Structures are given as C-alpha cells and as structure tokens.
Amino acid sequence: MTEFELIQQLTRGLPRTAKDLVKGVGDDCAAIRVKGDRCLLVTTDALIEDIHFKNNWQNFESLGAKALAVNLSDIAAMGGRPRFFLVSIGLPPQKAGSAAKKIYSGMLKLAARHKVILIGGDTVASPKALVISITVIGEASQNKVLYRNGARPGDAIYVSGTLGESAFGLECLKAGRRGKIFSPFIIRHLLPSPKVALAKKLAGLRILTSMIDVSDGFLADLGHIADESNVGYKVDAKKLPVEKNLFEAAGKIGANALDLALSGGEDYELIFTVRAGKISAFEKYVGKTKDKMTRVGVITSNKRERIVLNAGGNKAKVRRSGFDHFGAKHL
Ligand code: ADP
Ligand code: MG
C-alpha cells in the first residue's frame, strides 16, 4: 500500500460539508473561511529521526529550522501568509535538554525571519527517535488561494528555482561524500528555503490556476495537481531547470541529474499552472522579475496522459517517480 492509498482509506467518507470549510483533506493546507473573504490555512508535517534525518547529518539548529521550513512551504503552496505555529516535540531521554534548546534556537530564527509566532505545542518523552511535529496557521484572502485542483487543459506548467539538488544532497549524505563540490547540495537538503514571498506575489497576479510545493518530487507533485484537477500533462525534460554544477557533481557518484530533477524530493520549489489565455502576459512578467521561473510543459485534457519528452522529443522512460513513505526504502 502506498502512503496516498493509506491516506485515502483513512479519510474516506469524512464529512466535508461544513459551511466554513473551503478545503479539507487533499491539498497542501486545509482552508477555513473566517470572516468576509478571509481564510485560515492550516497545515501539519512531522520530521522523524531515521526516516527524515539522521542525527549525525546536521546540527540541531538546522533540524529545527527545517522542521518549520517544510510547513511554511505548504502555506506558500496555497499562496498564503504564515502567521502562527505550534510545535510538538518527542525527545529521547539523553537528548532532552540541550538538543531541544538548539532545535528551538534554529526554529525561532527562521520564525523571526518570516514573522511567524510560536503559540503553543506539546513536550513529551520518546523511547528512541527524536520527533518534531509542527502545525502552521496562515491566512489569505479566499479569492487568492491556489489549490491543486484548478489546472485546465492548455494551461502552462511552470516551476520555480532549480530541481534535484536536495535529493542529490541526500544521496551525498547517504554515501558519506562531503567534499566542496557536494556541500551546496547538502546544505540545500538540510536547510530548504520555503518560497513564501514568491508564492504570495504569484497568487496576487490572479492568473494562476493551481499550485503545489515540491516535497515528494517534481513528477509526483505535478501528479497531485493532475489527479486533483482531472487532467494530464506533457513535460519537456530538457526544459527542466537543473543547476549546471549538478550534472558534474552527480556524475561523480554515479547519480543522474535529470532523474533527480524529475523524481527527487524536498526541493520546496513551487509547481504552478498559468491560465492558457494569460501565458504571454506571464512570460513578460517572468522576463522582468528576478525570481527564476521556468515554463516546462502544458496541461492536457486526457487524465491518463502523463508524458515526459526527452531531448529528442520522444517519450522518456522515467525511472523513479517520487518519494512515498510506504513504497520507498528509507535512509
Ligand atoms: P504535503 O506533502 O503537502 O504535506 P501530504 O502528502 O502529507 O501533503 O498530505 C496530502 C493530504 O492528506 C493533505 O491534505 C494532508 O492534510 C492529508 N493527510 C495526510 N495524512 C493524513 C492523516 N493521517 N489523516 C488525515 N489527513 C491526512
Ligand atoms: Mg505540500
């Protein structure tokens, strides 16, 4: 069973009809209408020792920052502004005091940068693994929130930043490769930077039709947009934004940069679609802004059509398609 099948089984038949519930299970955040056109956005994500991280891979400060960053990224994915957060922390006895303080130090620095305020949590003992679970509450105006289900045939598919680096950083950590050429990728894996400001700007343009953040991997997350929107896609692999150093560094440990860009997780970039009639206007906008955004494909009407074209314009074979908690091997 995959992670997604399990979530479906657990959440099937939930009442989803509350008047003020705009979006329940199935997106990056839940959306709840509060007053006028205001919406609360709520999301939660946990990091578990030996599943999401190994203790000797990073210091506790960066672990704390990452635990918050991945949640901020889900608020970004909806086009919202993060406001408040709660932290539940499960500490093995030998780590209780000093580790927790360092985790909080890293987390609160990132919180200050994004002006999000810690409003509560829970502190418990854990027999072995360190666990950090965070819930973030954000806000947005209802008519600007971007969901996974708004993509329509003909919409252009864009991705922000560059792909594959975090997954490569993880490969380096697993392989014990720490040289100078590898360290930027390792840092990107350990300290992701959520695209909150960019996402808010994009939502404000009012010409996007869907958005998601890249946590499971480009194809897996674009797949979530396709599933929820009932559409297919055609992506041009040679257009994927891949940092040129990644090709060289990946070659050194026998990894494939393009596979990492297509299927590697945790880039925390944004995948979004732009309404068909507004693509040239958006291209002009992209030309003027400093934010890197790349048009990589198009949404199609056949929901079974999920095509990646290789450099020769033929259908590419994709080796992996993203991270799944119950389908993948862990660290
Ligand atoms: P993301 O990668 O953006 O954090 P997930 O893949 O973790 O999203 O979750 C997909 C959707 O399923 C979200 O709406 C999330 O809230 C919901 N979900 C995940 N696990 C559970 C669960 N155990 N019970 C209820 N809803 C869940
Ligand atoms: Mg997400």
Residues with CB under 5 A from ligand 2 (ion): 28, 74, 77, 213, 215
**Mean pLDDT of the region 187-207:** 97
**Position in ligand 1 atom list of the atom nearest CA 43:** 16
pLDDT at 325: 65
CA of 77 to the centre of ligand 1 (A): 14
Residue range 214-219: mean pLDDT, rounded: 96
- Ligand 1, atom 21: nearest CA belongs to which residue? 7
pLDDT tens digit sequence for 64-110: 999 999 999 999 999 999 999 999 999 998 877 789 999 999 999 99
Residue with CA nearest ligand 1 atom 17? 25
Residue 30 phi/psi, 5° resolution? -85, 150
Close Cβ partners of 172 (under 8 Å, ≥ 6 residues apart):
178, 182, 185, 186, 253
The residue whose C-alpha atom lies closest to atom 26 belonging to ligand 1 is: 25
Q: Mean pLDDT of all residues in the chain?
A: 93
Bridge pairing between strands 293-300 and 156-160: antiparallel
Categorize the per-residue pLDDT at 159 as very low, low, confident or very high, splitting at 50, 70 and 90.
very high
Distance 159 CA to ligand 1 centre (A): 22
Model confidence band, residue 16 (pLDDT cutoffs 50, 70, 90): low
Q: How are beta strands 117-125 and 81-91 bridged, if at all?
A: parallel
Output the CA 199–ligand 2 centroid distance in Å.
13
Checking if the pLDDT of 329 tops 60, the result is no
Q: What is the pTM of this model?
A: 0.95
Ligand 1 atom showing the smallest separation from residue 45 Cα: 4
pLDDT tens-digit series, residues 263-295: 999 999 999 999 999 999 999 999 999 999 999
Per-residue pLDDT band at 321 (split at 50, 70, 90):
low
State which ligand 1 atom lies nearest to the alpha carbon of 212.
3
Residue 312 confidence (pLDDT): 80
Say how many C-beta atoms besides its own lie within 10 A of residue 33's C-beta.
16
Ligand 2 centroid vs 53 CA: distance in angstroms?
Answer: 18
Q: Which ligand 1 atom minimizes the distance to the CA of 11?
A: 25
Ligand 1 neighbours by CB, cut-off 6 Å:
7, 10-11, 25-28, 45, 74, 215
If you measure from the C-alpha of residue 193 to the centroid of ligand 2, how many angstroms do you get, rounded to a whole number? Answer: 14
Ligand 1 centroid vs 25 CA: distance in angstroms?
A: 7
User: Of 14-23, 67-76, 233-242, which gets the smallest average pLDDT?
Assistant: 14-23
Percent of the chain having pLDDT more than 90?
A: 84
**pLDDT at site 74:** 98
Q: What is the pLDDT of residue 266?
A: 96
* Pocket perturbation via mutation, ligand 1, pick of 6, 23, 25 by most ligand atoms within 8 A of CB: 25
Per DSSP, the three-state class of 276 is helix
What token pair was written down for 211? 């958005």
Tokens encoding 135: 């819930």
Q: How far apart are CA 70 and CA 213, in angstroms?
A: 9
Residue nearest to atom 27 of ligand 1 (CA): 7
pLDDT digits (tens, 9 = 90+) for 170-187: 999 999 998 999 999 999
Q: Distance between CA 292 and CA 241 in Å, rounded?
A: 9
For residue 328, pLDDT over 90 is answered with: no
**Residues 84, 119: contact at Cβ < 8 Å?**
yes
Q: Is the confidence at residue 330, as pLDDT, over 60?
A: no
What phi-psi label fits residue 120: left (phi over 0), alpha (psi between -120 and 50 degrees) or beta? left
Angle between helices 165-175 and 183-190 (to 10 degrees): 110
Which residue has a Cα nearest atom 15 of ligand 1? 25
Report helix, strand or coil for 23: strand
- Residue whose CA is at the smallest distance from ligand 1 atom 22: 7
d(CA 130, CA 47): 8
